Amino acid sequence: MAVEMQGVSKGFKGLVANNKVDFRLLKGSIHGLLGENGAGKTTLMNILFGLYQPDEGEIFVDGSKVTIDKPSKAMDLGIGMVHQHFMLVKPLSVTQNIMLGLPSKKGPFLDTANVETALLELARKYHLMINPKALIKNLSVGEQQRVEILSVLYRGAEILILDEPTAVLTPQETKELFNILKLMRDDGKAVVLISHKLEEIINICDEVTVLRDGCRVANEKISCETTKSHLTNMMVGREVLFDFKDRSSDFGPDRLVVENLTLVNEKKLSILNGINFSIRAGEILGLAGVDGNGQKELCEVLTGLKTVSSGKIALDGQELTGKKTKDFITEGIAHIPEDRHKTGLAMGLDISSNLIIKEFNGPRFSTKGLLDFKAIKDNAERLLKEYMIKASGIEAKAKDLSGGNQQKIILAREISSSPRVIIANQPTRGLDIGATMYVREKLIEQRDKGVSVLLISADLEEILQLSDRIAVIYDGQIKGILDNKNVSIEEIGLLMAGVESGAGQCKK
Ligand SMILES: Nc1ncnc2c1ncn2[C@@H]1O[C@H](COP(=O)(O)OP(=O)(O)OP(=O)(O)O)[C@@H](O)[C@H]1O
Ligand SMILES: [Mg+2]
């Protein structure tokens, strides 16, 4: 047994995040930790990593009772954790990052050469393809994650905790990560994998523990017979429907029209390269593509966060090109951003403030320049209930919410703002299965009300399920726009790889 947590409880200001949880982690196994948003998964693992102290309960590592009062203690005990938001220093190299905070074997002198050799050896052993000399700022998200894993292994971890590692990875990167985790398991290490993607739990885990409302409700071995609906049932305590009603075809006129959009970055590289499309009122246009092909920048120009280098953006016939972000907001373009920490929320503010942050001086929440506190409070209480946001109350700060509940705050704010257009970038990332279905229904409901939705998602199933038409982006260009009637995943996959629609010719 690598770890045993017994009767662990943790409360935050009257909210019980963990309630007498038992958790047993075996050596040489990958252990899935499942539960709805706010169920207490991250809290339990933060306790094991020494970030929080439990209110009650005991922890045993390798059979001995331990007190883990800080992360450095956890690391001494061979426990490493990779958080969803990486803690790397961008301008420094891989090796420099890994050496940070570690004593040098050469006293006051840095031992870079030896560390680099050791890193290369570890990287070879676990197939973590990484150049130790590379600067973090030049690495993709998947590569940065590998650096975090390498760092934990370098510190001698026998127990590795990964909190939703695949939420930010492409399918290919996920496959590579899982191969690494399997090598670690075969090497006798213990891995905890937190994920909302049930196929992942079924495919790679040997065992699963399920939390609900802070309590452990199940612990089972994963077998060939384990199904998604069985896991969902244990998590939610009820069935969750995966099907949607038929798509309507009641479209209005063109609403959001973009013509020949181009964007050139500071390094004179062309990021968007002549983008053309239109979305009708009452239509969801899905945008499929491998991450990093211009999706993020397209969202930024469509919400006024960046100005295009050339081209035209028009909303209901009115040109918005060159206008400021606040004009895009007042014209009714809602934005669900990919990175909720950077652009979605004010982390230090409470829930009720975050819910009105974009229109606090609008008529809904102020009169004659004075804030209407009752309206603000009513709004927060209504949305908290409607979106099933789990928190100690509307005064809870955004930074204290679980990842999924932070995402729900953004969704609630943007969808409730009566938008004309919703630019939704990975709207269900980090959400549990029930919340995911709820958000998808909400997007359909908005579409049926005549809103135009641009849906960007790494999840092709989600795109196929919700979109009326599907555009595929590759290298800053739209490679094809398909009617979502009899599209196949294969067809989209080809376009995602840069193969032109119909022509069947590879450009590269
Ligand atoms: N530092 C904190 N202060 C106050 N409340 C907190 C704090 N950390 C967590 N909580 C609360 O504890 C509960 C459990 O949160 P936790 O982050 O463990 O959930 P989770 O299972 O990881 O959810 P998700 O899937 O959304 O990430 C949530 O209701 C959250 O708001
Ligand atoms: Mg969490």
The DSSP secondary-structure symbol of 428 reads: T
Indicate left, alpha or beta for 373 from its phi (over 0: left) and psi (-120 to 50: alpha): alpha
Q: Are 12 and 397 in contact (CB under 8 A)?
A: no
- pLDDT surpasses 70 at 244: no
Q: Same CATH topology for 3-236 and 254-496?
A: yes
The DSSP secondary-structure symbol of 166 reads: G
Three-state DSSP class for residue 350: strand
Give the closest ligand to the alpha carbon of residue 44.
Answer: 1
Atom number of ligand 1 nearest to Cα 405: 26
* Mean pLDDT value across the chain: 90
For residue 264, give the H/E element and its range.
strand 254-264
pLDDT score of 508: 34
Mind listing the pLDDT tens digit for each residue in 189-212?
Answer: 999 999 999 999 999 999 999 999
Q: Are 275 and 258 in contact (CB under 8 A)?
A: yes
Atom number of ligand 1 nearest to Cα 404: 26
For residue 403, how far is its CA from the centre of ligand 2 (angstroms)?
Answer: 5
The DSSP secondary-structure symbol of 397 reads: B
The residues with which 203 forms a beta bridge, in sequence order, are none
Point out the least confidently predicted range of 16-20, 21-25, 156-160, 430-434: 430-434
pLDDT score of 242: 62
Point out the least confidently predicted range of 99-103, 295-299, 419-423: 99-103
Give the closest ligand to the alpha carbon of residue 401.
Answer: 1
Most confident of 101-115, 221-235, 274-288, 489-503: 274-288
Q: Enumerate residues lining ligand 1, CB below 6 A.
A: 12, 15, 17, 35, 37-43, 390-391, 400-405
- pLDDT surpasses 80 at 341: no
Give the closest ligand to the alpha carbon of residue 390.
Answer: 1
CA atoms of 384 and 482, how far apart (whole Å)? 37
CA atoms of 266 and 151, how far apart (whole Å)? 32
Amino acid at 160: L
For residue 277, how far is its CA from the centre of ligand 2 (angstroms)?
Answer: 37
- pLDDT surpasses 90 at 79: yes
**34, 424, 45, 483: which is closest to 237 by C-alpha?**
34
For residue 382, how far is its CA from the centre of ligand 2 (angstroms)?
Answer: 24
Atom number of ligand 1 nearest to Cα 44: 18
pLDDT score of 376: 93
CA atoms of 470 and 459, how far apart (whole Å)? 13
For residue 388, how far is its CA from the centre of ligand 2 (angstroms)?
Answer: 16
- Mapping DSSP onto H, E and C, the string for 63-132 reads CEEECCCCHHHHHHCCEEEECCCCCCCCCCEHHHHHHCCCCCCECCECCHHHHHHHHHHHHHHCCCCCCC
pLDDT score of 45: 98
Contacts by 82-85 with C-beta closer than 8 Å and gap 24+? 82/145, 82/148, 82/149, 82/152, 82/160, 82/161, 82/162, 82/163, 82/165, 83/163, 84/163, 84/164, 84/165, 84/167, 84/168, 84/403, 84/430, 85/341
Point out the least confidently predicted range of 123-137, 177-191, 293-307: 123-137
User: The tokens of 280 are what?
Assistant: 């009708």
Residue nearest to atom 3 of ligand 1 (CA): 400
Give the closest ligand to the alpha carbon of residue 83.
Answer: 2
Specify whether domain 3-236 bears CATH 3.40.1110.10.
no
Q: Are 428 and 456 in contact (CB under 8 A)?
A: no
Q: Are 136 and 92 in contact (CB under 8 A)?
A: yes
Residue nearest to atom 22 of ligand 1 (CA): 42
Average pLDDT over residues 232-252: 74
For residue 38, how far is its CA from the centre of ligand 1 (angstroms)?
Answer: 5
pLDDT score of 490: 82
pLDDT score of 105: 67
Mind listing the pLDDT tens digit for each residue in 29-69?
Answer: 999 999 999 999 999 999 999 999 999 999 999 999 999 99
Share of the chain above pLDDT 90, in %: 68
Give the residue ranges of DSSP H helices in 126-242.
Answer: 141-154, 171-186, 198-204, 228-236
Q: Where are the domains of the chain?
A: 3-236, 254-496
Mutate to test the pocket of ligand 1, among 5, 9, 12 (most ligand atoms within 8 A of CB): 12
For residue 345, how far is its CA from the centre of ligand 1 (angstroms)?
Answer: 16
Specify whether domain 254-496 bears CATH 3.40.50.300.
yes
Residue nearest to atom 12 of ligand 1 (CA): 17
Indicate left, alpha or beta for 235 from its phi (over 0: left) and psi (-120 to 50: alpha): alpha
Give the closest ligand to the alpha carbon of residue 431.
Answer: 1
pLDDT score of 506: 32
Confidence of residue 369 (pLDDT cuts 50, 70, 90): confident
Give the closest ligand to the alpha carbon of residue 409.
Answer: 1
Atom number of ligand 1 nearest to Cα 41: 21
For residue 197, how far is its CA from the centre of ligand 1 (angstroms)?
Answer: 19
Residue nearest to atom 18 of ligand 1 (CA): 40
CA atoms of 101 and 447, how far apart (whole Å)? 51
* Length of the chain in terms of residues written: 508
For residue 348, how far is its CA from the centre of ligand 2 (angstroms)?
Answer: 18
For residue 74, how far is its CA from the centre of ligand 1 (angstroms)?
Answer: 21
Contacts by 500-504 with C-beta closer than 8 Å and gap 24+? 501/472
Atom number of ligand 1 nearest to Cα 432: 25
Atom number of ligand 1 nearest to Cα 407: 26
For residue 405, how far is its CA from the centre of ligand 1 (angstroms)?
Answer: 8
- pLDDT surpasses 90 at 139: no
Residue nearest to atom 16 of ligand 1 (CA): 40
Residue nearest to atom 7 of ligand 1 (CA): 400
Mind listing the pLDDT tens digit for each residue in 438-486?
Answer: 889 999 999 999 999 999 998 888 999 999 999 999 999 999 999 998 7
Most confident of 121-135, 196-210, 333-347: 196-210
